[in-house]
Structure 1
Amino acid sequence: MELIKNQSISVDCVVFGYDTLTKSLNLLLINRYLESEDKNEVLVDDYVLTGYHIYEHETLDDAATRVLKELTGLTNTYKKQFKAFGDPNRLRGEKDLEWIKSENFNFRTVTVAYYFLIKTEDVDLKNTKHEAKWFPITSLPKLGFDHEKIILEAYEDLKIKCLAEPIIFELLPDKFTINEVQEVYESILNIEIDNRNFRRKLIHKKYIIPLDEKKVGVSKKPSQLYMFSKDVYDKVYQKNYLINI
């Protein structure tokens, strides 16, 4: 099949990942680098979201899945389409114009933005294109296009969503401690949570299943491990907050 690119519509992917070692919510970005034809001048050197124009035979969802797979190799991940961005001037920055000219893009491109939740350790950065790199959400580099706006809106949506649905378990190992769950919430919401209160509320949720295992390889006292049961959650789910923090 001949791949015909739609020059007016693209998808952009906000890829969130949680690092259990640094306990930080991170964002996967790619380097946008362009030199002058004589190689004497760097015209563009910043970071952007991974994204691309859709092909005419694709749905938007299929295009977003393709773009993520091309970057990370991952397919079966949490994905949410959250907004379209169509400001006529969204690609009109000085460096953006240089980049678009070199890539032969359409100046008037509407992008549909998605965000994905993955575990940072599932991505082999050495095998990604465009020098992909994780950045803490609290310490982002200089960004191109309107991608700062897209990221901030995705982040706000994630904060709301994580209090209404159990999506944070997409960022955790299959087996986790209560402290690890708390740390993910604190990282996303940028707040401190009362440990005792949080533990009491979480362990009484029917879909948080205690395991006959403890976390090993830690210097302090081994902690009880738990798992999240989506089957149980789907049975008991009601339209209220997952956890009142």
Structure 2
Amino acid sequence: MKAEKILNISVDCVVFGYDVNTKSLNVLLINRFLESKGEVLVDDYVLTGYHVYTHETLDETATRVLKELTGLTNQYKKQFKAFGNPDRLTNEKDLLWIKNEEFNTRTITIAYYFLLKTEDVSLNNGNDKATWFPVNDLPILGFDHNTIIQEAYEDLKEKCLSEPIIFKLLPDKFTINDVQDLYESILGIEIDNRNFRRKLINKKYIIALDEKQVGVSKRPAQLYMFSLDIYNKMFQKNYLISI
């Protein structure tokens, strides 16, 4: 039996990815393209999303949407807000797209954000021309997706100071500088290196490994790992680190 979609309820996913090489926090967007009789009517970018099927929970829809785009499952996800302003889909290009796709102009979307590593995503397949864009340098976006991204980003900045979610964006083994670079990328600030290092290595859930970096031209740095088990035993809603 073909799945039946709810035409006025959708899920939109803000997929955050961190690139350890460029030290950049990025958002994964797909190309929205529509032409008629050789004339380009719509050519911009949007978040990945889709209507909720009648048999699905919202979480199941979000997980399905992410898997269809990236092939990934079991990534950190958070439902952070519903967007339902009556005029959220009334831009001229949005109306052309809605008419072509045959869904309701009064669609309410439930927004999620996901955290993953850019290196874990292959962008070589699919017709959506999925592309990573720096969170602070986004292209022209359709619908109200710029608003959704900015609200997700603000939530992420707040959440990363109270929960250990940044480790979802780092390799399993990392340096102290890797952690500092990620915090600086998310928060958009410079952090005192010496003070940050001292505070971080004193956290019992940051485990020093008997390993160092390999394949680097400079002096190899000490590698560490994050222990979620130790963190859970020690804390309940406590600040991960003061900056």
**What TM-score range do you get, normalising by the shorter chain?**
over 0.9
1:21 Cα deviation from its structure 2 partner: 0.6
Q: Which runs of 4+ in 1 moved over 2 A?
A: none
Q: Tell me which residue corresponds to 2:101.
A: 103
Taking the aligned partners of 2:108 and 2:155, their CA distance within structure 1 comes to 20
Task: Kindly report which structure 2 residues correspond to 1:118-133, keeping only aligned pairs within 5 A, or say none.
Answer: 118-133=116-131
The alignment status of 1:64 with 2:62, answered yes or no, reads yes
1:2 Cα deviation from its structure 2 partner: 2.7
Q: Which of 93, 112, 115 in structure 1 is aligned with 2:113?
A: 115
Segments of 5+ residues of structure 1 without an aligned counterpart are none
Task: Kindly report which structure 2 residues correspond to 1:1-245, keeping only aligned pairs within 5 A, or say none.
Answer: 1-36=1-36, 38-39=37-38, 41-245=39-243
Normalised to the residue count of structure 1, the TM-score between the two structures is 0.98
1:105 Cα deviation from its structure 2 partner: 1.2
Counterpart amino acid of 1:174?
A: D
Counterpart amino acid of 1:35?
A: E
Taking the aligned partners of 1:231 and 1:19, their CA distance within structure 2 comes to 26
Taking the aligned partners of 2:228 and 2:236, their CA distance within structure 1 comes to 13
Contact 2:45–2:142 (Cα < 8 Å) also in 1: yes
1:28 Cα deviation from its structure 2 partner: 0.1
- Count, aligned residues: 243
1:240 Cα deviation from its structure 2 partner: 2.5
Taking the aligned partners of 2:236 and 2:101, their CA distance within structure 1 comes to 48
1:79 Cα deviation from its structure 2 partner: 0.3
SS at the partner of 1:164? coil
